Structure 1
């Protein structure tokens, strides 16, 4: 069982290798899911990989950002270089990057990022069939669910065992993007789940998760023959990485007789690395009680005190715990949960106060935490360590010629499809709802395509009224939820088979695993939901090749990305969501212990409304997104298929928006359309 460690800088890279990591995962300067880490240049990778290989270790490159249509030029240089540098694997989430690698760089080994939201066996099987060598599973699985998946597949499985947890399923969180265009799918998460929220009369960190620690469960995962255990932390220090790797290596290598002693000693090591309170997450139960603690701030570490005053680049505070030069500390905005970390260099005691160096962004009132204590022997700078690498290994040669870039660029744009000259004469509305009675009792605009959610509540009603539904709406599309929990698969398999037999031919898929639910696709018409996170035409090509007829773009996209993307694709196949009260968080965690009838109110005053359905928590913003003011512009791009999502709206709102005479969109939040997607 491989121990996979993070490295956001050279210090962490060397520390992980020194402490026994079997493989290291790193990011390059762009296009990875930790954009705020130091990360590495291609030239640095060309040194790191041969050095790791000398030690018999591996290096994986995280290229797991969502790629916008406007970014191919920059990605081309990176992928050509990686094709020559040949890391042991690249970790990806974007279906466009998948298509590019599969057809132009087939020698590159692909790992499916956890951002692909692979949370059940059908997702694993589909990704394996696509050619992924390894699947990084969602963190929301129990040991039993992981074991059942492992018994059913031969592809490699990777499991997160230590580090930060997100409230939402990875790949389905839109909260940071909704707040300010900083997409978590592109490594720029603002961590709104760490904010201090008002809920009713009380305030709390209701969405802030404790840190994962599966140290005691390593013998079980080892017995299951899980291929790799993963430590989160490309934003963490070398001291943190070294200590955590050492702890997990001790337990992994221990014999059954030595296991408990190894766990006890490893725990003592981890106690030296400050973190948020630790939890085993979902490993032991589908209803963990120790993941959320609203009373604990989103910060982690040993509390040192509060910044009392600031003088230039020095801060003053009254210490409540020990601190020394070389320690790494974090200043936390108590309300927004945003932290700033740095290493203590100059420390001076002045009376009852301590004065130390601090970044200029730290302000009076911030909370201070010691996150890592200094470890002797790990003090070398990135610059010195890079020099050391240059002396020890010969870098891998790679060349990015203008001709190779031109050829690849030509190939990429040739993957688009011929654009029909004939345009739609009128808008085709896709009307989405989750109530069967709505489609039975209301008349839709002529030519509309209804989308009806399939879930535990709607299924019996669909069966009871299938003849009326199909007669009234021959183009009725049945949509699947983005999360189908492992124990729910049997229900959906049965429901889909029965509805196919009854004559339902149009289906909307929301997760890569859904393709496995339709072994026979002939005669069926498929559309893709926004949860496939499509931001470029190669991703469209991938879905089209899998059998998708109508392709819904990502909700996050800005005007420029949409305008550029549709130049290379048949606009008749593209659908844009123009009105929706979208879930910004989708989680397996329950908020029931803290439940109140009021809205969650952020420090910025935004209101959010949690609801639970089929064991999944959805958190909805008060204000829906609406592109009402941009329909004319979208039509000028050649797009005429627009989706109006009526789920999660009040009945009186629904009746005003969609009538037999047409669709009348209210104004709302424009999301990233005008401001852009970072």
Structure 2
């Protein structure tokens, strides 16, 4: 039985040496941009060169994270980054954006690619699709059961990687827009502000509704080895070097010396993280939400604020260089300090520190600095040139432009999306050019019985597949699509690019806004895959939209964005509405076992439509998902479109601001 690779996070130079010392088989790290942990220290080009050299001398592999979506104006910088990576040759590059895939596969084919968990691969269909494209490994979604993982392993020979320890996101990775919606700092851009870690209010009751405990799979390592998982991944590029060392050491012992499991358990429990859950792999799902979002071990609370710091009531033997985190209850902010000058007394310690502290603020120990690691990396003697020659760059970028004849004809085309059969009884369908049906499996089955409707409006219809199709439901969805084709329906919409392999031969398929098209490279790739229509991302800003050369996509102009899309159920004490501390309201919906969170306020871009039309964007999407069916809403929205006026009480998401 082959041991799986132990893959360890490296967010700084100290963490790199911690990972090496703990026995990592491979490390993953990011550059200063284009990676999903932009708040980590990360690495310069020269440091990347040095890391690869030092790691390879110790037979440790290096994977570079390029796992964010790319804005169109960033493509030249992306080419410089790929040019550099092609020179230094890491063992693989971890990607999310299909535009990155296109550029690498066509112009840097020697670079090996891994599909990030941000690509939301959650079944064998996605894994095999990636493998057929030449992607060497797939990092699976965290929301799989052991049974689903086993079945995926049986159905593919592709390399599989799973997360075994560290923080968990409430939403499917790659499908979260909450941070982007409230701050403009997108999770898909590596800038998540962690709204799932915040406290929310129902009436006057406050709770951490979406705050998942930390992942821990130490007791399942033998099972993962048995079924042939190729790589076991620890999360934590933002964590300390001490965390990296202890957790990596724990799992290295579990993999190679299982008879020392008790020792491994002690190390893993000293990670100074949150409470633990085995999530969908185990039996603790019902209690996977924690009511403490703080990282660290609680040791006491502030009993007195002094002129130079504070006194903490604690029986902990606080030591110099300990890292403490104080949670200010008044501002709901956290401050980290390193203990220097302090005075212990009975059941209390007075600490000198600058900052704003209040009585009763909880105090956590986030690290003891029990271990220390070097921060040195030698500068390369002959550093690699990090800039692609301008002529080569211009030539590549020119290949991403749309082909002649692919621009729109100037006629405005209106797409309308609905998510329940009840809408069909309220709409005058003739007002829409196309109707996108995002129904449940059961509602689609019912619709198939209405042959008169299908015969009358079949040419207008797009049948939309769900965001998440569990392994056990692939076959029934494939059969459903065949039934629609037999009923004369020939247009479908996919929510994951791999779903194209479920579409019957000779049928047309479009890509939803969940198949991200942020840049010309991604759009070019989607078209090369046979996508007939595509929807621009909902979190787009106007600069990025108007900066693309491909104006033939569909622009969402009226919709409730899915801020969270999750397989994790959450219990609300009353109704499904809740508020954040800024008093913004959100609504929870559950459909087919998937939890969606949407804002109370609609996103409307109707006032910007004349500018869109003037720039050649003539395909518009009105999305009534999560909205109560109404006879008057569609005419009212069309009127606003015609008048180019804003919908009252609506917001414009990032469109008139910036997606950061």
Q: Which range, TM-score by smaller chain?
A: over 0.9
CA contact 1:32–1:65 (8 Å) conserved in 2: yes
Q: CA RMSD in A?
A: 2.4
TM-aligned CA distance change 1:89 to 1:357, over 3 Å:
farther
The residue aligned with 1:142 is 145
The residue aligned with 1:272 is 270
1:357 positional shift: 3.7
Deviations 1:304-335 (A, max 9, x none): 424854768x5554446342222223233558
1:513 positional shift: 2.3
The 5 Å alignment of 1:191-340 reads 191-254=194-257, 259=258, 261-284=259-282, 288-293=285-290, 295-306=291-302, 309=305, 314=309, 316-319=311-314, 321-334=316-329, 339-340=334-335
User: Which range is displaced more, 460-469 or 102-111?
Assistant: 460-469
CA contact 2:538–2:561 (8 Å) conserved in 1: no
Matched, 1:99 2:102: yes
User: Which range is displaced more, 31-40 or 406-415?
Assistant: 406-415
TM-aligned CA distance change 1:291 to 1:76, over 3 Å:
same
1:437 positional shift: 4.4
- Where structure 2 has 5 or more consecutive residues not aligned to the other structure, the ranges are none
Matched, 1:12 2:9: no
The residue aligned with 2:65 is 62
CA contact 1:584–1:618 (8 Å) conserved in 2: yes
Deviations 1:143-184 (A, max 9, x none): 111111011111100000000001110011110001110100
CA contact 1:157–1:226 (8 Å) conserved in 2: yes
TM-aligned CA distance change 1:476 to 1:598, over 3 Å:
closer
TM-aligned CA distance change 1:298 to 1:462, over 3 Å:
farther
The residue aligned with 1:471 is 456
- SS across alignment from 2:76: helix
The 5 Å alignment of 1:461-610 reads 461-518=446-503, 520=505, 522=506, 524-565=507-548, 568-569=549-550, 571=551, 573-592=552-571, 594-610=572-588
User: Which range is displaced more, 125-134 or 229-238?
Assistant: 125-134
TM-aligned CA distance change 1:96 to 1:366, over 3 Å:
farther
The residue aligned with 1:368 is 363
Matched positions, count: 651
Matched, 1:186 2:189: yes
The residue aligned with 2:651 is 669
Aligned pair partner of 1:633 in 611, 616, 622: 611
CA contact 1:335–1:603 (8 Å) conserved in 2: no
TM-aligned CA distance change 1:396 to 1:240, over 3 Å:
farther
- SS across alignment from 2:633: helix
Partners in 2 of 1:164 and 1:338 — Cα distance?
Answer: 19
Partners in 1 of 2:86 and 2:323 — Cα distance?
Answer: 37
- SS across alignment from 1:289: helix
Deviations 1:603-655 (A, max 9, x none): 11111111211111111111111112211111122101110111111234x62
- Where structure 1 has 5 or more consecutive residues not aligned to the other structure, the ranges are none
Partners in 2 of 1:676 and 1:646 — Cα distance?
Answer: 25
1:557 positional shift: 0.9
TM-aligned CA distance change 1:525 to 1:662, over 3 Å:
farther
1:439 positional shift: 3.1
Aligned pair partner of 1:84 in 82, 87, 109: 87
CA contact 2:454–2:487 (8 Å) conserved in 1: no
